Amino acid sequence: MKKIVILISGRGSNLEAILQANILKAGQAQVVQVICNRPEALGIDIAKKYQIPVTIIDHTSFSARNLYDEALLEKTLSFAPDLVVLAGYMRILSGPFVSQFFGKLINIHPSLLPSFPGLNTHAAALKTGVKWHGATVHFVTKDLDVGPIIIQGIVPVLPNDTESSLAARVFEVEHQIYPQAIEWYIREQLVLELGNVRVDPARQQFFMLPPTP
């Protein structure tokens, strides 16, 4: 059985979607630990609801950034994970952490990368007037939000959208594509070739939600 460690910082909506995934229900993988850097994060309660052990490593309790980074790496390594999943983890990982888990470290980003890396993606989408927006699951590299893309989900940008309404629609598609990406990984159906990801056997890699009436 493959072991998964999930890193969170916030409310845990993607965490819950992952914990409900078919690949976990089938017994082919197990989330062995959730690690959170914020003691007040709502996602901690989500993990407890599913009886997943939680480790809290409060980044504010460390006197230097590198000390936190070292503690996070040591703790994550202690679980010997086959896959490390970032589910709303809001800190940039250190170079040693990324190097240690390269090829088995994935993240979800709320835009159709390479468009709108970084923060405030929904505001950027509305400001630029794009007609389609969405989310991307990708492998993590040392450069922010540019790792090989595994799967993307797209949603329409509607004329009356606000940041919150667009974000809600993107969340819906995130909750579809992240469990799918994890399933492909656990089933060893992802192949990295020259910096790109191939799903083997080839599968539909785009999820699209219809416009809201």
CB atoms within 10 A of CB 184: 20
Which of helix, strand or coil describes residue 73? Answer: helix
| 109 labelled catalytic | yes
From the candidates 109, 122, 133, 138, which is the catalytic residue? 109
Quote the strand ranges of the chain, DSSP E.
2-8, 29-36, 54-56, 83-86, 105-109, 132-139, 149-156, 190-193, 196-199, 206-208
CB 163, CB 154: distance < 8 Å: no
The residues that are catalytic are 109
